[in-house]
Each structure stands twice: as structure tokens, then as C-alpha cells.
Amino acid sequence: MKILIANLGSTSFKYRLFDMSDSNAAQLASGGFERVTDYTSCIEEMLESLVGEGHLQSGEEIDAVGFKTVLGKDLSGCVTADARVLEALEGFKEVAPAHNP
């Protein structure tokens, strides 16, 4: 199982890719971008890099993505990003758009 952990700042994007296939989590890659104005481009570049370095064959290999939000209504702890969660985050995206993608 491959897990991508993303940390989105107001002008930065940092990430780590982990392989959780066995009982020991292994970090496969890490990287980041500074002075970000277009997060979509950063995500595309990150995926190209992870594929180019041989950590992934495609983005479809990523089984889960984790990230921390700034505000999330009644959300706390780890939650699955289902329709209820996405709706809660949507209500706060104007408060911290870079942190609540």
C-alpha cells in the first residue's frame, strides 16, 4: 500500500511517499516546492517525478493521501474523505484556501 502525505502551506507544497506493504513503513521519496502559486502544477510535477524516479508506475498506485486541514468544522483525527467530509471542508476553503485544497 502506497500512501502520499502532503503538507500544503500558503506558498509551499511538501510531500512524502511511503510504502506500507509490510509491518515496517518505508519512506520511498520526499520533496517539495516553494513560492507556489499553482498547486495543480506542483501535483502534476510531483507525480511525474515519482514516476520518473521509479517509485510509481502511475498516480493510480497511490492508495491513500493524507493531509492536515486548517479548519474542518466538526472533524478531528483521521477521517476518510467521503462526501460528508468534503462538504465540511468546502465550507472553509475561503478561510485558508492553500491549506484546505
Query: Is residue 11 pLDDT above 70, yes or no?
Result: yes
pLDDT in tens, 14-41: 999 999 988 888 999 999 999 998 888 9
Q: Domain 2-67, what fold?
A: Nucleotidyltransferase; domain 5 (3.30.420)
Instruction: Give the Cα separation of 42 and 47 in Å (integer).
Output: 9
Across residues 72-95, what is the average pLDDT? Answer: 79
**Contacting residues for 20 by C-beta, under 8 A, at least 6 apart:** 1, 2, 3
Instruction: Give the Cα separation of 97 and 33 in Å (integer).
Output: 17
